[in-house]
Structure 1
Amino acid sequence: MGSLQESLNRFKKQQEKCQSTLKSIAGSKTSSRPTTTTPAPRVVPASTLAKSPLPAVKFSNDTERLQHINTIRKGPVGSQIKRVIDLLFESRQSFTAEQINEACYVDVKGNKAVFESLAKNPKVTYDGKRFSYKSKHNVRDQKELLRLVRTFPEGIAVADLKDAYPNVMEDLQALKAGRQIWLLSNFDSQEDIAYPNDPRVPIKVDDELKQLFRSIELPRDMLDIERDLQKNGMKPATNTAKRRVMAQNGNILNKPKQKKKKKTEISKRTKLTNAHLPELFRNLNG
């Protein structure tokens, strides 16, 4: 506070010295020629300078980034593990602890709990230096995917293939469109199953299953069939109830009958070109 007051006093003395210098210059000019008097400069009171507010301090972008990093590192271990696994899954690359720290701000090397949980995670492979994502089936493209499905003639769950590589679902749809595999739903588990569609793959059906299939008696009424399909989570392609109501109300139009062509009768006015065949003209209308 004392240094500030001394600075203000020095500033005040400088202002007074400048004012006296200006006055002497103005007096010398007035003696030579008449001029308008120059107003004295306004002296700012020392009290006003002392009370002027200081500019507010703004946080830099670097400060905000450090706060964000601190929030991540103080978060639960599970949330930090998820950030690392998401990084490994999306990139499909291997990362050291330092590279993970730079990419997602998780200090794997400096946090023992995070390091041990990450190294033991079933979705992570750790070779002693680098971490990488570990999928259930090690396939990398469509050819390897098809080869894997063909090794499961009884079918393989699509859920076990979803994390194989980033565009595996698109490749499954492409193989289905090319009729190289079948994608069917399991009624018990409500999950999709991929089956190979390859004549080279032997598929053996038990006699018991065949007998069970043949012993199932379908309802005779389409309404009952549609109800059974809806109970099993399937949408019928027909709506028998609606069609029957429309038929009762006469809203279903029958196809128009085609008009029969009128036979052209031969009369005396008809020009006969086949006169050598008289049997054709016995029934001429008069």
Structure 2
Amino acid sequence: MALKESLDKFKKQQEMCQTTLSSIKASSKSTPRVTPYNTPANAKSPAPAVKFSSDTERLQHINSIRKAPVGAQIKRVINLLLETRQAFTAEQINEACYVDVKANKAVFDSLSNNLKVYYDGRRFSYKSKHDLKDKGQLLKLIRKFPEGIAVIDLKDAYPSVMDDLQALKAAGEIWLLSNFDSQEDIAYPNDPRVPIKVDDDLKQLFRGIELPRDMIDIEKDLQKNGMKPATNTAKRRAQAQVHGISNKPKQKKKKHEISKRTKLTNSHLPELFKNLS
């Protein structure tokens, strides 16, 4: 409220100044200009009037930020902490992104209790899920999760963590695979102390197994071996029949070709009909 009152007062003052300047300009046109006897002929003209438009826009921008919902203000502060990775006091946050944490109790309480924010009683800083600093700590953490760890839980650990993941993958230290259910990347450790060697006979035996042609038969074989198929072809086909959807592939429409018997409506463009059959 104090900011709005100051802004309204500032606008009224600006309007009064503009009115005064207009009246002065009008009177100067009707009254002949008289040079005082003690004024030098080469005296400098008075400085032009100061424009306040830029400052008005800044105040309006600050006012719109502080009137925004609490969630929007929290997001603005968290983005600041994430990008800088520095600790800020409430006053420094106000100067950096115009969110008045000190004056807004709802913003202060929400920010100090946020899972992504660490508050030590004076300063706010970003808190990632895993406290990592470099590639060595990243590899040590991944090796603690032989079943895999989600990349989304690692990507905000420190600014260059994604580059380090790719470097570890290129060096053969880890595997980056996509999870079939969530379509998210999972990081798996590739411990060089446990090398796996597969005999050529076993490779040939694996490649020589002929899979069933029908997907339903493949799903049945998986179930017989105690595995749950990721698909349900029988259910999908039954739903398709209920809705009248055919499982047969659609035939492609024959492409219409131009021949000598085709009626030409663009005869004024002869270059289009060079390859008539």
**TM bucket normalised to smaller:** 0.5 to 0.7
Find the counterpart in structure 2 of residue 128 from structure 1. 121
- Residues in 2 aligned to 1:93 and 1:201: alpha-carbon distance in whole angstroms: 40
Q: Secondary structure of 1:98's partner? A: helix
Question: In the TM superposition, what are the counterparts of 1:103-182 in structure 2 within 5 Å?
Answer: 103-182=96-175
Counterpart selection for 1:195 from 188, 209, 226: 188
Counterpart selection for 1:183 from 160, 176, 184: 176
Counterpart selection for 1:71 from 56, 64, 67: 64
Change (3 A) 1:232 1:218: farther
- Residues in 2 aligned to 1:160 and 1:122: alpha-carbon distance in whole angstroms: 13
Q: Secondary structure of 1:132's partner? A: strand
Q: Secondary structure of 1:94's partner? A: coil
Change (3 A) 1:61 1:139: same
- The count of residues paired between Structure 1 and Structure 2 equals 170
Q: Deviations over 1:25-78 (max 9, x none)?
A: xxxxxxxxxxxxxxxxxxxxxxxxxxxxxx999543222111111110011110
In the alignment, structure 1 segments of 5+ residues that lack a partner are: 19-54, 204-213, 234-286
Q: Deviations over 1:181-202 (max 9, x none)?
A: 0011121222211011113379
Q: Is the 8 A contact 1:126 1:132 kept in 2?
A: yes
Quick check: which has more Rg, 1 or 2?
A: 1
Change (3 A) 1:218 1:62: farther
- Residues in 2 aligned to 1:56 and 1:218: alpha-carbon distance in whole angstroms: 88
Q: Read off the aligned partner of 2:54 and give its amino acid letter.
A: N
- Residues in 1 aligned to 2:74 and 2:98: alpha-carbon distance in whole angstroms: 11
Q: Secondary structure of 1:188's partner? A: coil
- Residues in 1 aligned to 2:108 and 2:210: alpha-carbon distance in whole angstroms: 59
- Residues in 2 aligned to 1:232 and 1:140: alpha-carbon distance in whole angstroms: 38
Q: CA RMSD for the aligned pairs?
A: 3.6
Find the counterpart in structure 2 of residue 246 from structure 1. none
In the alignment, structure 2 segments of 5+ residues that lack a partner are: 1-22, 36-47, 197-205, 220-228, 232-277
Counterpart selection for 2:79 from 86, 89, 100: 86
- Residues in 2 aligned to 1:95 and 1:56: alpha-carbon distance in whole angstroms: 39
